Structure 1
Amino acid sequence: MSSVSGRGDLTDRQWERLRRWIPAPAATGRPITRSRRTLFNGVAWRVRVGSPWRDVPETYGPWPTVYRLFATWQRLGTWALMAKLILALLDAAHRLDWTVSVDSTTVRAHQAAAGARHRPIPGEPTDHALGRSRGGWTTKIHLAADTSQTVMSFKLTAGQRADSPELGPVLDRIKVPRPGAGRPRTRPHRVLADKGYPSQANRAYLRERGIAAVIPDRKDQQRNRKAKGRLGGRPPALDREVYKQRNTVERAIGRLKRYRAVSTRFDKLAVRYEATIQVAIILDWKPSS
């Protein structure tokens, strides 16, 4: 049995917070002899290093057992639940200001990500969120992030998909549970986005939801408005001071891509890659004392 450094493993504080959200072990099937914290750390090692599952060090347990925990918790929605409850804790502690920036990043798919079976899988898109773009075989992560660089929601598409149509779907995925009873919180105060998003449909969507849009017009839109004269209407307002905070979403993307299994996609299934991103979000969380 080889030894590995504990760098990147869950801290005691992280584990004490996370363990209450972990489902009880199944009563059937082969018993798991390793502690769930050890197996969780094996999953964390793979997400951080970006290695094949077979290369997960034996210190964390047999690699099939580590992978089985990862896949089982993906199917049960455990990783998604943990990421959502972390947001609830941050919101309850007033660590979210609900000024949200939206952007996307393209991720190169490793050759290991190809070849998924074409069979119905709950939540799995038919194209497995893989497509051809300038970067080759890629996946695109569309995400919304708070000014604290906290990822509020994300969505996967094939790499060639445009950014603008995904603004609404990404914002619709923001659902932060409230303490006690009540519906989840879903509406940001304002949304910041670059010149890839200023379509009329996006502005109408934000108006309907009562969300302030901080999105600059493209030059072609400005020219078309001027060409129409009075019929072109007023240009949309842009708070340039607030817009300076848009770079926080780019920094949030940079934080996610520190995890090599996020910066390069190795997972064949989109639902597994979503879980990989959720694990990275969980590992990036630093609980307050």
Structure 2
Amino acid sequence: MNVQETLHNIIELFQTGQIPEAVAFATFPSCDVPCSHWSFANRLLCFFHHTEDARGYRQWQAVNRQVKKGAKAFHIIAPRLGKKKKNPPVNPEEQEAGISPETITSLWFVTVPVFCEADTEGEPLDYQQIILPDLPLMDRAIEWGLNVKAVPGNKMFYGRYGKKEIALATSEEKVFFHELSHHAHSLVIGELKPGQDWRQEIVAELSAQALCRIIGKHADSTLGNSYRYIAHYAKEAGMNPVHACLQVIGDVEAVLKLILKQEPEENQIKAVAM
């Protein structure tokens, strides 16, 4: 694959409307793996190829993993610097006078093959050793066709929701409930706005805290974090936390009824749409 084809993959993100999600992915890498230090464009390419961890062949060998037979690489863009002597070279008199031949520094780009973590096998990586417990409502996620998986995380990232996937960097049930609520909210309103929308985040967090109290095991231990989370997004919307919660209470009720199957799914979707 050449540089032009690689850049075309990035442009395709714009054409398919995925760019807001891709930018969030590339701006806030989930943890300290090699690709988190790549250029912004190369992290976009990771998003395009649905991976949070991509490395070169030898990088995988360095962590005792091997690329699976038949796996296909994708290509990132890497700069190369070179120097060459300026023509014409210095003459003998100039050399005798201590004049060195000048060099010209040139910069060009090449493509480098890398492989997704899913296309490798071997010793488990640190983040693969996160064991997700038998979380309440996991069966609901499965019913909706969501893939729930453990992923690397850092202090800014504990969970993420995509259209067909919930990625968790913690075993904390509230984080799972938050991401599951995002999916339920998307079913209720039709489609979520890209990025961190204050309304959507408060709906998900308030729903998650309610689910902790209804069927969870650790409600009280997460209440303070939920309040701070909601207060942050309420401030963004120019409201206090209580007012912001009242603004979204209808959506929260619909989300909870949908998740807990208290009403047929189509009824909840129609009720909010009206």
Coarse TM-score class (shorter-chain normalised): under 0.3
Task: Give the TM-score of the pair, scaled to structure 2.
Answer: 0.28
When the two structures are superposed, what TM-score results if normalisation uses the length of structure 1? Answer: 0.27
Q: Quick one: higher RCO (CA 8 Å, sep 6+), 1 or 2?
A: 1
> Structure 1 or 2: larger helix share?
2
